[in-house]
Structure 1
Amino acid sequence: MKPEDLSCWKCGTSLKDILLPFSRMSKCKSCQTDLHVCKMCEFYDTTVNNSCREPVAEKVTDKTRKNFCGYLQPSETAHQAKSTSHASDSKQQLDALFGLGSEEKSNPTGEPPEDEARRKLEELFGKDKK
């Protein structure tokens, strides 16, 4: 593996100027985050025990801080850009589930939300008669 193929696990900056193998003190020049970390490793996998596929590695509790693991293999895919489409899809699904963000569809009369809520309550429970 060549350093040009690697990018910081946190900010995505190219690590072409970093010497391999990473020393324990290696830091990203852009965001100053530690690079000798579990999240930067080929063996990092949140779906397995201890989030590590290396069977003899010692347990590391903080996967984002430098450690003494001797099995670190830098991963080319360590940086995962945040997907705005996934986030927006999730928000749209929640809005649809709870009826949020769709005032135009649910209120075709154009009445204020407070009046619509009162009208719906009166329809549901009947008008309060004194």
Structure 2
Amino acid sequence: MSEQFHCWQCGKPLEALILPMSRREECVACHADQHVCKMCEFFNDSGRGDCREERAEWISERERANFCDYFKPSMMAHINTKSLANERAKAEFAELVGETLVASEKTADKPKTAAEIAEQQLRDLLGG
């Protein structure tokens, strides 16, 4: 398997992971539960912790193991998508008003995530 799941809390690779993921699955490095809302593709990190799956029941503790029937593990759970979205929004705003952000120039030195690489390839392909 070329792609690998990572712990949502510490980011370490989850080796010997058997799918479908057991409710008792945990990270060997930090011992965090992995069958949790924050590890799910449907988790909406909008601050309220909503689930994008409309049929799922409300779960109050999003960092603890649960029995959600709609759980689908995410490959990107370990990446702080909120800060990436904030940086992207700031860069788009600066481009809109014709300014360049110093912080955006500094982040160019950081390695790009798989999503950023894919986005750049798509933009290059479409000429945007």
Q: Check whether TM > 0.5.
A: yes
The more displaced of 45-54 and 28-37 is 45-54
Tell me by how many angstroms 1:47 deviates.
3.0
Contact 2:39 2:74 in 1 (8 A): yes
Pairwise CA RMSD: 2.6
> Aligned ranges for residues 86-101 of structure 1 at < 5 Å?
none
Match for residue 102 of structure 2? Answer: none
State yes or no: 1:57 paired with 2:45.
no
Report the Cα distance in structure 2 between the residues aligned to 1:23 and 1:3, rounded to whole angstroms.
21
Task: Output the amino acid matched with 2:52.
Answer: R
* Structure 1 runs not aligned, ≥5 long: 87-130
SS in 1 for 2:38: helix
Report the Cα distance in structure 2 between the residues aligned to 1:81 and 1:54, rounded to whole angstroms.
21
Report the Cα distance in structure 1 between the residues aligned to 2:57 and 2:11, rounded to whole angstroms.
27
Match for residue 34 of structure 2? Answer: 35
Q: State how many pairs are aligned.
A: 83
Q: TM-score, normalised by structure 2?
A: 0.57
Match for residue 11 of structure 1? Answer: 10
Contact 2:37 2:43 in 1 (8 A): yes
* Structure 2 runs not aligned, ≥5 long: 87-128
Report the Cα distance in structure 1 between the residues aligned to 2:30 and 2:53, rounded to whole angstroms.
28
Tell me by how many angstroms 1:16 deviates.
3.0
Q: Give the greater-gyration-radius structure (CA).
A: 1
Q: TM-score, normalised by structure 1?
A: 0.56
Match for residue 66 of structure 2? Answer: 67
Aligned in 2, Cα 1:33/1:49: closer, same or farther, shift over 3 Å?
closer
Identity of aligned residues (%): 43
